Amino acid sequence: MDKEELMDYMPQFTSFIISFIMMHEISYDVVHANFWMSGMVALDIKDAFNIPFVITFHALGRIRRIHQDSADRFPNQRQEIEELLARKADRILTACPQDEEDLLNHYGAHPSRFVMVPCGFDPTEMRRVNKLWARWSLRLPLHEFIAVQVGRMVPRKGVDNAIRGFARFRKQSGARARLLVVGGESCSPDPALTPEIGRLQEVAREEEADNSVIFTGRRSREALRYYYSAADVFITTPWYEPFGITPLEAMACGAVVVASDVGGLKYTVRHGETGYLVPPHHPNALAERLAFLWRYPRRRRKLAEAGEQRVYEHFRWDQIARSLEAVYGDVAHPRALRTEKENIIYTNKTAVSPVG
């Protein structure tokens, strides 16, 4: 089922969860809801059992509607439900500063309940592979300038902007370069299964880049680190991105990221230090950054090293898990009721029900 159609099933899901808790006589300390629909369930559990809940929205309906307008197919009730959840949640876990700003300005959420806990990557899964080996494994030219784009094939991801920017860079610079577009509903780039691929292929033809823009189709998680590692530059230029995990994965694999100056990307990519930010819907700005990175490989390597260092220092899942554990412990056992020694004991005993 499409996620836009799930809301009508939330009462049934709630009844099941409540029955499960009663039947097994489980005493949960915290419920963590991810997304607004599971937030509805978490709120009902709180009302039924007086169990506190925290919520990570991941995306906000009002912001999504601003950027996607009629393309947003979620029901209108979503925005009122999110506002209620923002008032009732014991903690709101935000992924980045833009998240907090949106909750304040569009939902009137109280900042005292905010705790910033970003998303992350697993270094055992996403790690740098020798570039030449990665390219040889993927049957790619060893010495061309290679850009990679990874993600869902939907309009808001701005893949058309990535294609236009890349095509203009290549045309203006004369560089031997190619762009790999990774993603889709099948392992081969099938427009019948992924209509957006058909539209993007037409964009590549319009820009006279159909020979240098390669659509790969979907790839496994294990294969992705080879694509990231093979890249000189990772491009992600969405209109709207609440956080965005693919740039973290790309940096972990040694690629320089050029990203839209929006949402969570403004937080994960430090402009001029670990990569570059460009306006969305602005292929010429993207082309200029690609040309700069092509001309100055030493600068490219320096940015890549800084990006890899940043994600390893701040965005590993094990670090984020510890941050979550601290939030759970604080919500389940408020600090006013315990000593520092008790904090450690209770945090280690906290049981959590992940909903969503």
Give the pLDDT confidence of 15-34 residue by residue, as tens digits: 999 999 999 998 899 999 99
What whole-number distance in Å separates Cα of residue 178 and Cα of residue 297?
16
pTM as predicted: 0.88
Whether the per-residue pLDDT at 341 is higher than 60: the answer is: no
What whole-number distance in Å separates Cα of residue 149 and Cα of residue 162?
8
What is the predicted pLDDT for the residue at 65? 85
DSSP string covering 86-124, please? HHH-SEEEESSHHHHHHHHHHH---GGGEEE----B-TT
Mean pLDDT over the full length of the chain = 91
- The ranges assigned to domains in the chain are 3-120+316-355, 131-314
pLDDT in tens, 62-113: 888 888 777 777 888 889 999 999 999 999 999 999 999 999 999 999 999 9
What is the predicted pLDDT for the residue at 348? 40
Q: How many CB atoms lie within 10 A of CB 9?
A: 11
What is the predicted pLDDT for the residue at 338? 43
Task: Quote the CATH superfamily of domain 131-314.
Answer: Glycogen Phosphorylase B; (3.40.50.2000)
> What percent of the chain shows pLDDT beyond 70?
93
pLDDT in tens, 144-201: 999 999 999 999 999 999 999 999 999 999 999 999 999 999 999 999 999 999 999 9
What is the predicted pLDDT for the residue at 68? 73
What DSSP designation does 263 have? T
Whether the per-residue pLDDT at 9 is higher than 80: the answer is: yes
182's tokens = 């990774």
What is the predicted pLDDT for the residue at 355? 52
What whole-number distance in Å separates Cα of residue 94 and Cα of residue 113?
10
The stretch 222-240 carries a mean pLDDT of 96
In CATH terms, are 3-120+316-355 and 131-314 the same topology? yes
Quick one: pLDDT band at residue 343, thresholds 50, 70, 90?
very low
> What percent of the chain shows pLDDT beyond 90?
84
Q: Domain 3-120+316-355 adopts which CATH fold? A: Rossmann fold (3.40.50)
pLDDT in tens, 110-144: 999 999 999 999 999 999 999 999 999 999 999 99
Q: Can you state the angle between helices 36-49 and 77-88, rounded to 10 degrees? A: 50
